[in-house]
Structure 1
Amino acid sequence: MAISGHWLDDLNPSQVEAVTHGDGPLLIVAGAGTGKTRTLAYRVAHLISQGIAPDRILLLTFTRRAAEEMLRRAAMAISQETVSTRVWGGTFHAAANRLLRMYGKPARLPADFTIMDRADSEDFLNVVRNDLGLARTDKRFPRKSTCLDIYSRRVNSDDELDAVLKRYFPWCEIWLDELKTLFRQYVERKQQRYVLDYDDLLLYWHHMLQENSLAALMSERFDHILVDEYQDTNRIQARILEGMRCGNKNLTVVGDDAQSIYSFRSATVKNMMDFPSQFPGTKIVTLEHNYRSVQPVLETTNRIISQARERYSKKLWSDRKEGQRPQVITCVDESHQDEEVIRRVLEHYEQGIQLKKQAVLFRASSNSASLELALIRRNIPFRKYGGLRFLETAHIKDLVSILRILENPRDEMAWFRVLQLLSGVGPAIAASAFRHLQDNDFDPRSIASFPAPSSARVGLAGLAELIRDLSTAENSPPAAQLDRISKFYLPLLEKNYDDPHPRKNDIEHLGELAARYPSRRQFLAELVLEPPVSTGDFAGPPVLDEDWLVLSTIHSAKGLEWHAVYLIHAADGCLPSDLATADDDEIEEELRLTYVAMTRARDFLYVLWPLRFYTRSLADTHVYAQLCRFFTPEVLATMDRIAHDEAERGGDQFIPDMADHGIMDKIRDMWD
């Protein structure tokens, strides 16, 4: 095939082979650090340069930012600025949202349906659970969060409910019939209110594709579909792709089977392994040239992943042949491990590696507790990835619920949240008010005629005035609507929350975010589909002297890289987690998790494990550990082993034989 642009000179031969592939299914097996983002972006550019209209390309990624970055690169390669706005780029759920609003009428979905986030879905499910009396059973019924986990696993894995319970929730098997009733009522209540949860977006898309006429209509819309991080897709996503390619087989997927670590979200590596059989005639291109790590790091990580039972064979290599061999460091206990990490962090800092270019990784969030205290004592700044997301904070959910009421007046959970912010309104009055709305065809303005008790009349009058004002400004920008809502809400914020001042800043940030969107509907959808993690998402570039050490779980670190990486608690029981060794598949995923952590390192890799560490799993106690089972003799042969004298002795200080000094006698004699 003819080269379609000088920009292809930036690619290596394997990348060119992938980018310039013609029609038909293509599987790109992209090892860690091998430039998959560039490859996928340039494939988009190549397709457009070959005459494919940008709006007939669908690019599916796992974050909106990833799609934006790929499309930005594609636009730069072919000097077409409109690429980023014309290509359909985004997450599976964002694409589902757009398609369901366009083609949802045969599924009886109105275009103004609203989407619940996880917290709202849990609350909605809990309302149904209480209405069915399942919270008042003799034996403890599963909590709302567990119920939603079960529902989500059933939907995304496409396994039958009894099979899901048997494998993942065996303590809930006795509730099989009750859970079926609960989930049926939950689905019926959502359908009556025209609300969808996160899982429904894919579920409706999948079922619509089972109808030949709808499948043909949606499939015909796109000449090419490209998918990033295919190893992290679940069964229903694989079936969606199959349905979307009933007209042609132009499907490109990129992934690394060695980095499939999200089975707890129902992702399955089998999608990638089975792709050639699902799409006969698949061309497979393997990317092995690593642009991230020095060769000594790759020697170790190649041997780690070679232990996998089922995988696409690849051996990563780098042009950066020289470098420090990875180190495995045996520590006496957690305090010793903390000291070793901090000493090396500061040494690299003095060598010119900023703190933010160094990361400490761990299997579970609790693994960093001791280190965090040590960093605080040493006055070393750090940021830990995880915690409460911006949209999950109570005050932001309050404001968003008011917008949801205006967008979809049937949104029961939004009404319940807003009404109970008002003085004198509890669950019973909120339920009566919602029935009043139901009797008035869900006209939100009818809240003004609700016969409220005297204690609630002032608050309800204010809410009714707000809804009347916003109903007359239906098409005003979402930022303007939020500004009016804020005037109503700020007195409630002062009344309902102890710390209103930082929350007011969050409300201002929400207004800044709303200003980026032309419509309330798009703003609400994007908030759920791509929520900001924190107010840091709104911040500008950091100041020059702003620096911090990165602390992160391995799952949160995927896709990132640092000059120096410290993998701590690399001991059996922590890695692999003792909660994830029930079968070979779970152990295999823990192996891949270890591989993901180690392949984040560019120049320096340290693996640390304490001989003794503190646990509170069953009781407050210390346990003795063994090095993670994945560090076999073959792996260790590629690493430098460091064990201090005390660690080599197992942490027990040597005490020579000494004469009896009569200590016991002296203590007894105190009481004579």
Structure 2
Amino acid sequence: MAGETLSLEDRLLGGLDDEQRAVATTLHGPLCVLAGAGTGKTRAITHRIAYGVHTGVYQPQRLLAVTFTSRAAAEMRSRLRDLGAGGVQARTFHAAALRQLQYFWPQAVGGQLPGLLEHKAQVIAEAARRLRLTVDRAAIRDLASELEWAKVSMLTPSTYLEGATGRGEPGGLQPATVVRLFQAYEDVKVDRNLIDFEDVLLITVGILQEDPKVAAEVREQYRHFVVDEYQDVSPLQERLLELWLGGREELCVVGDASQTIYSFTGATSAHLLDFAKRHPDATVVKLVRDYRSTPQVVTLANRLLAARRSAGPAADRLWAEPLSLVAQRPAGPEPEFAECSDDEAEATTVARRIAELIATGTEPKGIAVLYRTNGQSEAFEQALSAAGIGYQLRGGERFFNRREVRDALLQLRSAARAQPAGVPLGQSVRDVLSSLGYTDTAPTGSGATRERWESLSALVSLADELSASRGDGFGMPEFVLELHERSTAQHAPAVQGVTLASLHAAKGLEWDAVFLVGLSEGLVPISFADTATTVDEERRLLYVGITRARHFLHLSWSLSRTPGGRAHRRPSRFLDGLRPGTLRTTASPGGGGSTRRRREYKGPATCRVCGTVLDTGAERKLGRCANCPPAYDESTFESLRAWRLERAREADVPAFVVFTDATLTAIAEAKPESLADLAQVAGVGKAKLERYGDAVLELLRGA
């Protein structure tokens, strides 16, 4: 027995570091794991679950592991099977709630469960027609996101106005109109006997709150809970989790507040940050040893978060003290920074650098190009195609929806019924897929033939990988079952091609080489990040991008959108202090290059009164937001306005040509006493200083 226990300890705990081992051996909650990027959090929690199952502390069917994407849940189930804990349920919040709702609906509500609405667009369009509102496709998309946010924030049409203060006008509609549309949307669903994904959570919460018998049955079924990516929990999901627990504390949560990048969907890191306050007896373990990235990448990521400065009390409350990662890998190359003349030059530069990496041994599937918006992908698609480099567009056609993959699954299912004994799984899969055009050698060139081969090659590689990890008992029937589950969860294998993806879509993934592109103001941070908290989220998004890189990291931006265009862009404020002071400027194809020293951008302008980020040019001139009171003498301001009007009439020009109202206000508030002081006021350039400076100072002295 002692030898068996030692074997179990060695198998499940032997490869863990001290902090991961602390997680794996803390089998009772409450447990909070603060896990930085690349620190092996999934390894720690899956080994914890497996160790608890093998020691008899957990019954597999009575533990529920919850994560946020079907892909992550499928990966967790796969790892648990590898560790001999295949009976544990790993699901998303929605999948777990839907399963319970389907089971309890007849007894709690009666009748048949309404149909599940997978896409809101048609119902929102119908609701708009009922209200005689004109909405286009973009507005419908924005309104769908707004309704999802409202529902996971536990708002109803009657409480939306109060809870949505400051959210602007989604779909171009005023908040009061959104309320009417919200109610009409709910009415259309009732008429059609439909529920949406948010309703699945809301109705499950309602049943658990109102039916003690159902709540008791659920709590009897599930005794232990593990929640991954806990920083992304919405108020509605947190409420559901509380009802599942029913006051018990057998809960393990895992997350990293510095990777909170989905606040616009209703996610909030507040639950993670306040966990120890809500559970005073909680064990808190920090995972900071980064096994993914080189010291150079880790250092850049740490510096990015450390560079954040106070942005006012409201934003500071939502900014968590970041974990300082400690790299465990050997040293690698320093991150590269490239300033390009335009978007085309940037894409060409990136494609050329990718070709160099591939030529020196980096596999294309180990390379990613990450950008802020999906609309940026086209230039890189064209540049990679021109260079003869295959790529896959994450967010494009799903892997298991491709025709060659569907054909392959049919062939593999047939082969599973008559797999010859003694033939390794990998060879059997190769033999089957050869009839669809698979060969051990990739075809030359690119295009449809190459893409088809890459899809089939991904299935062969997956067979080899699973055969090695699962052992001799893993044959064709088991492989087909694995593919079926992965297809349901859209858990695609890696395809041999460079990945193009948005920063949001890259969350949870990693590559040997990462190219972060389009890092200019207006893209990173995005132009509509107009508050301190949204700018902070953009910083976290870039942090997520940086920490996707294992070995090589390349950061680039362009000075103009089109070749020959005006170079009005500037590098992202987040790069200040990270990039070298002198940067190489990459010219357009066929042009020369130059080296220039750029003025460092000092970060977002904030109100000197309340600390919020200043949105408009007028606010930045004043140094304060429109909501804060002015700090000037009214008679001085009126004297300046009268003087400006007189000068404008003399020159026969509009008054704003002399000075704008914002500049006059800034002068009145600054009260400059010399020409040097006046020159520091925003809106007072050299020409205006020479023309009007003495007169303005004389007026101020008289006032």
TM-score, L = length of structure 1: 0.67
Q: In 2, are the aligned partners of 1:19 and 1:46 still within 8 Å (CA)?
A: yes
Equivalent positions of 1:421-460 (< 5 A) are none
| Residue aligning to 1:89 | 90
Q: Cα deviation per residue 1:166-214 (whole Å; 9 max; x = unaligned)?
A: 4334367975555444434543553465422111111112222333614
d(CA) in 2 for partners of 1:610, 1:268: 33
Paired residue type of 1:68: A
Paired residues for 1:195-210 under 5 Å = 195-210=194-209
Asked whether the equivalents of residues 23 and 48 of structure 2 are also in contact (C-alpha less than 8 Å), the reply is yes
Could you tell me which of 605, 629, 635 is aligned with 2:573?
629
Match of 2:503 in 1: 554
Deviation, 1:389, is 5.8
| Structure 1: runs of 5+ lacking an equivalent | 394-515, 517-522, 652-672
Task: Name which of 591, 604, 615 aligns with 2:552.
Answer: 604
Residue 530 of structure 1, CA deviation: 5.7
Residue 61 in structure 1 maps to residue 57 in structure 2: no
In 2, are the aligned partners of 1:231 and 1:268 still within 8 Å (CA)?
yes
Give the match for residue 491 of structure 1. none
> Does residue 151 in structure 1 map to residue 147 in structure 2?
yes
* Structure 2 residue 524 is the aligned partner of structure 1 residue 575: yes
Matches within 5 A, 1:39-50: 39-50=44-55
Q: Which of 2, 5, 9 is residue 9 of structure 2 equivalent to?
A: 5
- Mapped to 1, the partners of 2:138 and 2:357 lie a distance apart of 49
CA contact (8 A) 1:219 1:247 kept: no
Secondary structure of the residue aligned to 2:320 is coil
Structure 2 counterpart of 1:288 = 288
Change (3 A) 1:217 1:589: same
State the secondary structure of the residue aligned to 2:354: helix
Deviations 1:397-430 (A, max 9, x none): xxxxxxxxxxxxxxxxxxxxxxxxxxxxxxxxxx
Taking the aligned partners of 1:179 and 1:392, their CA distance within structure 2 comes to 36
Equivalent position of 1:135 in the other structure: 133
In 1, the alpha carbon distance for the partners of 2:336 and 2:328 equals 21
| Cα separation, partners in 2 of 1:276 and 1:559, compared to 1, 3 Å | same
1:349: which partner in 2? 358
Q: Which residue pairs with 1:334 in the alignment?
A: 343
Name which of structure 1's ranges 355-364 and 333-342 shifts more when overlaid on structure 2: 333-342
Alignment match, 1:360: 369
Relative contact order: is structure 1 or structure 2 higher (C-alpha 8 Å, sep ≥ 6)? 1
Distance 1:188 1:10, change over 3 A: same
* DSSP-derived class of the 1:566 partner: strand
Counterpart contact for 1:25–1:249, Cα < 8 Å: yes
- C-alpha distance after superposition, 1:356-394 (max 9, x if no partner): 21111111112233222222223322222123669999x
Gap change, CA 1:177 and 1:567, over 3 Å in 2: closer
The 1:89/1:140 distance shift into structure 2, 3 A limit, reads closer
1:614, CA displacement in angstroms?
4.0
Deviations 1:306-364 (A, max 9, x none): 24552244221223232111121222222322232122111111111122211111111
554-563 or 304-313: bigger deviation = 304-313
**What residue in structure 1 maps to residue 684 of structure 2?**
none
For the Cα contact (< 8 Å) 1:338–1:371, is it kept in 2?
Answer: yes
Equivalent residue number for residue 396 of structure 2? 387
CA contact (8 A) 1:216 1:247 kept: no
TM-score, normalised with respect to structure 2: 0.64
* Equivalent residue number for residue 123 of structure 2: 124
Q: In structure 2, how many angstroms separate the alpha carbons of the residues matched to 1:316 and 1:272?
A: 19
Match for 1:126: what amino acid? Answer: A
CA distance in 2, matches of 1:279, 1:640: 50
* SS state at 2:396 partner: coil
Measure the CA separation in 2 of the matches of 1:541 and 1:628: 31
Are the aligned partners of 1:577 and 1:590 in contact in 2 as well (CA < 8 Å)?
A: yes
Does the CA-based 8 Å contact 2:139-2:171 persist in structure 1?
no
- Structure 1 residues 22-75: Cα deviation after superposition (integer angstroms, max 9, x where no partner): 322111111111111111111111221232211100011123332233233334
Question: Does structure 1 conserve the Cα–Cα contact (< 8 Å) formed by 2:39 and 2:287?
Answer: yes
Alpha-carbon contact 1:102-1:111 (below 8 Å) kept: no
| Mapped contact 2:146–2:170 kept (Cα < 8 A) | no
Relative to structure 1, the CA distance from residue 236 to residue 379 in structure 2 (aligned partners, 3 Å threshold; closer, same or farther) is same
Cα deviation, residue 565, structure 1? 0.9
Q: For each residue in 1:513-534, what CA deviation from the matched residue of structure 2 results, as whole angstroms up to 9, or x when unmatched? A: xxx9xxxxxx9xx99x96649x
**2:542 maps to which residue?**
594
Percentage of matched positions with identical amino acids = 30
Distance 1:144 1:95 in 2: 28
Q: Residue type matched to 1:575 in 2?
A: V
User: 1:102: which partner in 2?
Assistant: 103
Distance 1:321 1:267, change over 3 A: same
Alignment check: 8 A CA contact 1:357 1:549 kept: yes
Q: Is this contact kept in 1: 2:46–2:80, CA < 8 A?
A: yes
**RMSD, aligned α-carbons:** 3.5
| Whole-angstrom CA distance in 1 between matches of 2:172 and 2:382 | 41
Q: Which residue of structure 1 lines up, in the alignment, with residue 661 of structure 2? A: none
Closer/same/farther in 2, CA of residues 179 and 171 from structure 1, 3 Å limit: closer
1:565 maps to 2:541: no
Q: Give the aligned residue type for 1:586.
A: T
Q: Match of 1:162, as an amino acid?
A: L
CA distance in 1, matches of 2:220, 2:191: 31
The amino acid of 1:646's aligned partner reads G
SS in structure 2 at match of 1:552 = strand
TM-superposed deviation, 1:149: 2.7
Assess if the C-alpha contact under 8 Å between 1:293 and 1:602 holds in 2. yes
- 8 Å contact 2:80–2:88 — kept in the other structure? no
Q: What CA distance in whole angstroms lies between the structure 1 residues aligned with 2:510 and 2:170?
A: 39
Describe the shift of the 1:201–1:361 C-alpha distance in structure 2 as closer, same or farther (beyond 3 A). same
1:235-634 equivalent positions in 2, closer than 5 A: 235-308=235-308, 309=316, 310-387=319-396, 532=490, 547-580=496-529, 582-614=530-562, 622=566, 624-633=568-577
User: Residue in 2 aligned with 1:408?
Assistant: none
Looking at structure 1, the residues matched to 594 and 109 of structure 2 have their Cα atoms a distance apart, in angstroms, of 66
* Amino acid of the structure 2 residue aligned with 1:5: E
The residue number in structure 2 matching 1:483 is none
Kindly indicate whether the alpha-carbon contact (under 8 Å) linking 1:24 and 1:251 is maintained by their aligned counterparts in 2.
yes
* Alpha-carbon distance between aligned partners in 1 of 2:303 and 2:100, rounded to the nearest angstrom: 44
Q: Could you list the per-position Cα deviations for residues 104-157 of structure 1 after superposition, in whole angstroms to 9, with x for gaps in the alignment? A: 346526454321112xx3212333443x34337xx9999543443332121012
For residue 646 of structure 1, the aligned residue among 577, 593, 596 is: 593
Distance 1:57 1:631 in 2: 44
Q: Is the 8 A contact 2:258 2:322 kept in 1?
A: no
Unaligned runs of 5+ in 2: 309-315, 403-476, 478-483, 587-591, 599-703
Aligned-partner Cα distance in 2 for 1:621–1:236: 48
